[in-house]
Amino acid sequence: MFILLSIYISGYPIQFESKMNAIAIFVGGSTRTSTIDGISIAGASSEETLYTPTLDLEYIINGIPLTKNEIPVTPTGLPTPAVITRALLRKIKIPYLVVDSGLYSKLKVPHVKIPSSIPGNNIEIYDAMPKGTAKAIFEESKLMGEIISNKQDIILLGESIPGGTTTAASIIEALGFKAIDFISSASPNNPRDLKRKVIENALKRINKGDDVFTIIDKVGDPVHISLAGFTAGVLKNVTTVLLAGGTQMGSVISILHRLNILDERIKIATTKWIANDKGSNIFKLIEQIDKRIEIIVSDVDFSDAKHEGLRLYEKGYVKEGVGAGGVMILSKYFGIDIEDIKKEIYKEYERLTTIGKGNN
């Protein structure tokens, strides 16, 4: 006998069972698009962005990255949003997996490998991946999604791909929707003109009649197509798929739209820092593709955080990533109240900032 509860977050009702089965999956990969100077701040330097997803995923599994003995930071030293993700995964204690779908640097923690995945090229100049790669990544991810979601109610899908808002916008535009004006950035100063130039050059390689997989091969990346594949697979079993991320999840929605497998069980779960962002508009982005897709917004606020690195989220820094918004929302479904959610995040942030001072 299960007790049905109803929780309202930003006006979106979600029903769940007290014995809810959930698994979280975090897909990481690289696109050399992130090394274009000025396009991504998901790393201390442009070249560092290639290591960021590996360090993010190692950190959420191991508590400290292994490939380099440092937490990914922005050029101004702000730590990865994976801090939020790890803090809450350890609180709600669900099974989770990290996935290598085209990482530049191999993971040194146990992980799922999507066999056909490889890092994407810089889409401004080159096709992202050899012909056939996107289709193979999609099918492999779909198969994994079907099997891992057996007997599950909710699957949360997060991502880590620096440069991902640019490749995502490129995918969305190539699939016939508007993205450049709607897409977000980890920086408070979204380099929109630079992104527009990159995307416009990429789109020149698209031919009329290219199918969705050819489009990804040309102007996409290995992560968003994997997320689309996982989503397609887990729909075999679950009642809810949480696409845990910001505007770049629009690319997953647009891929699934083109493949004609969108339905109301698929929801975007994100932070209020994305929802309130003046430099982007996730609601308009998604609405133009499919009005049925709900966007669930976490109400966690860091105004009272002791650490400046977290208070700066309220000023538009970082905003989202590695499933942070979705994991905060999932924590509410599991009955953790907002003060406890913040307490766990602050505690983990405190642990990180004292690592190396003999306190890990």
* Binding-site ranges for a second copy (CB under 8 A): 1, 19, 21, 23, 61-62, 93-97, 100, 106-115, 140-141, 143-144, 147-152, 237
Least distance (Å) from a second copy to the CB of residue 20?
9
Task: Determine contact, residues 27/322, Cβ cutoff 8 Å.
Answer: no
Least distance (Å) from a second copy to the CB of residue 111?
6
Q: Which residues pair with 4 in a beta bridge?
A: 17
Side chain identity at 302, as an amino acid letter? F
Least distance (Å) from a second copy to the CB of residue 223?
14
Nearer to a second copy, 66 or 338 (CB): 66
Eight-state DSSP code of residue 79: B
Nearer to a second copy, 115 or 209 (CB): 115
Query: What is the C-alpha separation between 248 and 101, in angstroms, rounded?
Result: 16
Nearer to a second copy, 144 or 289 (CB): 144
Nearer to a second copy, 93 or 208 (CB): 93
Least distance (Å) from a second copy to the CB of residue 229?
10
Judging by DSSP bridges, how do beta strands 295-297 and 266-270 pair with one another? Answer: parallel
Least distance (Å) from a second copy to the CB of residue 159?
17
Task: Determine contact, residues 223/27, Cβ cutoff 8 Å.
Answer: yes
Nearer to a second copy, 246 or 326 (CB): 326
Least distance (Å) from a second copy to the CB of residue 241?
15
Residue 156: CB partners within 8 Å, gap ≥ 6?
A: 22, 23, 24, 25, 242, 244, 269, 323, 326, 327, 330
Least distance (Å) from a second copy to the CB of residue 116?
8
Q: Minimal CA–CA distance to 251: which of 219, 282, 224?
A: 224
Task: Determine contact, residues 323/26, Cβ cutoff 8 Å.
Answer: yes
Judging by DSSP bridges, how do beta strands 12-17 and 4-9 pair with one another? Answer: antiparallel
Phi, psi of 231 (to 5 degrees): -60, -50
Nearer to a second copy, 21 or 288 (CB): 21
Nearer to a second copy, 106 or 347 (CB): 106
Phi, psi of 15 (to 5 degrees): -105, 140
